[in-house]
Amino acid sequence: MELSEAYLERYSRHILLQDVGVEGQEKLAAAKVLIVGAGGLGAPVALYLAAAGVGTIGILDHDLVELSNLQRQVVHFTKDIGAPKVDSAREKMLAINPELIVKTYQDYLCAANIHEIIAGYDFVVDGVDNFPTKFLINDACVMAGIPFSHGGILRFDGQTMTVLPGQSACYRCVFRTPPPPDAVPTCSQAGVLGAIAGMLGTIQATEALKYITGVGDLLTDTLLSFNAKAMTFRRVAIKRQPDCPVCGAQPTITKLVDAEQSVCDLKR
């Protein structure tokens, strides 16, 4: 296939990279990535993956844009208040890169729909704001063998890890069960410094691009956390656990159930 001049110019800074090149850019164009959550983390992920030329991007979020989102969810603008977040995100992604396919899912992720939604994606980015859904994404991706990036932020702190199912430690190898309801405050209760959403989301976007192009070493078997007040980054080595309930030798979690206090219960 002859690549157009516009294509080569748009992606020239990728193509110039020895590790990416023309071949890597073609892999990005053929790739399908699902972003779960069009909030603080999903916003930079959506913008950077769209800019990078990831050919098919799915984005899932049930919510509408609210005024309090705009302090950190940079894909949404003041004019978008009241609009579905997925539509707002899609509009900006296509404005950056009109040739993409952006699929929107204005829904919650739950046991009943996650398998169907994630099927066919090459990589999933977890940008959700609650523990039950983080565990659900982990379990479903492990069962389906789909690599994903876990990410979470609160106040001045962020943490992320990349999971290659069957190869590297999964989220449940590290954290067995969701914390009790209300044990960990949400962003809406505790607050979050807006820019750290960008710090963490861009790490997740980078991991997605690395996975697709095969460049470098993924953040697997490692939990990366940072504290923005001290601006310290810490890497903790983690290991796959043989007795992990989902990716271990004898898994006890073999089908998905919605945890208590799942976001699906929040449906009015």
Partner 1 sequence: MNMPMVADATRNLRGVSCPMNLVYTKVELAKLHSGQILEVILDDGAPVNNVPGSALKEGHTIISQEQLADSAWAVLIRKK
Residues classed as catalytic: 187
Cα-trace Rg, the chain = 18
Which tokens hold the place of 165? 């199912």
CA proximity to 44, closest of 150, 154, 200: 200
Give backbone dihedrals phi and psi of 206, rounded to 5 degrees, phi first: -60, -40
Member of 18, 188, 232, 250 binding partner 1 (CB under 8 A): 18
Which residue stretch of 11-19, 38-46, 143-151, 225-233 sits at the interface with partner 1 (rule: CB under 8 A)? 11-19
Q: How far is the CB of 21 from partner 1 (least distance, A)?
A: 6
Member of 6, 16, 183, 230 binding partner 1 (CB under 8 A): 16
Q: What is the Cα–Cα distance from 70 to 107, expressed in whole angstroms?
A: 21
Closer residue to partner 1, CB minimum distance, 29 or 47:
29
8 contributes a contact to partner 1 by CB under 8 A = yes
Which residue stretch of 6-14, 139-147, 185-193, 232-240 sits at the interface with partner 1 (rule: CB under 8 A)? 6-14
22 contributes a contact to partner 1 by CB under 8 A = yes
Asked if 65 contacts 88 with a C-beta cutoff of 8 angstroms, the reply is: yes
Positions 89 through 148 that interact with partner 1 (CB under 8 A): none
Number of residues that bind partner 1 (CB under 8 A): 10
**Cα-based distances in Å from 79 to 65, 82, 83, 125, 216:** 10, 9, 9, 26, 39
Q: How far is the CB of 26 from partner 1 (least distance, A)?
A: 9
Closer residue to partner 1, CB minimum distance, 18 or 78:
18
Count of CB atoms situated within 10 Å of the CB of 160: 23
Q: How far is the CB of 12 from partner 1 (least distance, A)?
A: 5
Report DSSP state, residue 219.
S
The contacts of residue 114 (CB under 8 Å, 6+ apart) are 136, 137, 140, 256
Which residue stretch of 13-21, 75-83, 95-103, 209-217 sits at the interface with partner 1 (rule: CB under 8 A)? 13-21
Which residue stretch of 19-27, 56-64, 153-161, 176-184 sits at the interface with partner 1 (rule: CB under 8 A)? 19-27
177 contributes a contact to partner 1 by CB under 8 A = no
216 contributes a contact to partner 1 by CB under 8 A = no
Asked if 42 contacts 200 with a C-beta cutoff of 8 angstroms, the reply is: no
| Distance linking the first and last C-alpha atoms of the chain | 50
Give backbone dihedrals phi and psi of 241, rounded to 5 degrees, phi first: -100, 125
The contact set with partner 1 (CB under 8 A) reads 3, 8-9, 12, 15-16, 18, 21-23
